[in-house]
Amino acid sequence: MTSLPTRLGLAAALMCGASTAALAQDKVTIEFAYPYAALFDVTYEAILPKFYEAHPDIEVKFRASYEQYEDASNTVLREAVSGNLPDVTMQGLNRQQILVEKGIANSLQPFIADEADFQQDGYHEAMLSLSTFDGDVYGLPFSVSLPVGYYNMDLLEVAGIDALPTTWDDVVTACEALNASGSGNPIYWDWAITGNWFFQALMWDQGKPTVENARINMDSPEALVVLETVQKIVDGCEMKNLSSDEAVSTFAAGDLPMMFTSTSNVGRMMTIKSDFDFVTGNFPGIDGTPEGLPAGGNAALMTSASDDPRVREAAWQWIKFITSGEGAAEVARTTGYMPPNKAANDIILADFYDQNPQKKTAVDQLPLLSDWQAYPGDNGLAITQVIYDGLERIVIGDATDMEELQQELVEEIDDLLPSS
């Protein structure tokens, strides 16, 4: 016969098991996918324990990461057809529109309306507007970047350069001094970065949007200036055709004096660089301070097709947590991106930027924040490729006449735009 203490212990164990099973059964699981694992893995590793502490009833199942933003868009478009959408997806700020137009992204307005204190985290209006369509918010910006200059001050000092360049003419002059001092590889200008971001940067530099009235301003005088400026940088600096990853590695090794790319790599650079004086500087302009710069980065969109309101509510809790307050502060701590709200930037990170001046450069450029524009119609990704191919022709020396290249791009893009 079983003793009383043993029976009580057995009963307790059974009750505990039943309670654990019930808890597991009550837990809601959502699926989540994001791009750029090399940049963001460490961010989500920092966020996840804090989220679970606040929401022990929710489990976040991570899908395989997207390679980059174009891959993220294409993957979700395919998943919408196959009926295999994640509950939450991170998409490039310039890739949200197509998911809204196709009814894949869910409006967050009903969830926001139920939040009495939604504004307490102070989302920057300029950042929130990037995810607002026809008055409804469809995404919450998670990480926001601006282009900046990366400088190896030790190599610049050897070349006799004592001031950071403020224009692209200054950059070319610095390249000449660096090459004279034996550099042979003075610069990487990240022309290949996702979504024609740098092309749009040079358009906004002149105060000209790339997209206007559902057409691409490729036939504009400003677009010709962009192509001529790229050619000036490539030829004047004898720029090598590196990949973005090769450029980051070369700079980190101390072998590349200047690099112009997203601030997103700053956190990684501070971890992997060799022993040299690394600073960041404002993105140079064509004639001085740019009139605007495109906001890079990504936003959290709810793409859940679940009919279970608990799943959608859990997806909302995850979106809200990672884009506001303490969750968003990890973006700045672990990367070079800026959090999308004032609570993270001004309160939680009050002393952070003073202690990390390399990450402050992008924050100082916030007044220049402009839209990273989507290209109109179903051929938006194809238009991205056309502009990419045109820039590549400049970089490899295949295109030398910029007026001729401009006309070719205009004709190719016109064929891809929606017919009026």
Tens of pLDDT, residues 7-34: 334 334 444 444 444 445 689 999 999 9
d(CA 354, CA 362): 13
Task: Read off the pLDDT band of 420 (50, 70, 90).
Answer: low
- What percentage of the chain's residues is helix, strand, coil (to nearest 5)? 55, 15, 30
Residue 204 token pair:
């906004």
Q: Looking at residue 130, what is its pLDDT?
A: 83
**Tens digit of pLDDT for each residue in 171-223?**
999 999 999 999 999 999 999 999 999 999 999 999 999 999 999 999 999 99
Which residues touch 233 (CB under 8 Å, ≥6 apart)?
A: 168, 171, 172, 187, 189, 239
Contact at 8 Å (CB) between 296 and 146?
A: yes
* pTM score: 0.85
Task: Write down the domain spans for the chain.
Answer: 28-145+296-370, 147-294+375-416
Q: Which CATH number fits domain 28-145+296-370: 3.40.50.460, 3.40.190.10, 3.70.10.10, 3.30.930.10?
A: 3.40.190.10
User: Could you give the percent of the chain with pLDDT greater than 90?
Assistant: 77
| Residue whose entry in the numeric block shows the structure tokens 């929710």 | 58
**Do the domains 147-294+375-416 and 28-145+296-370 match in fold?**
yes
Q: Looking at residue 85, what is its pLDDT?
A: 98
The reply to whether CATH 3.40.190.10 applies to domain 147-294+375-416 is yes
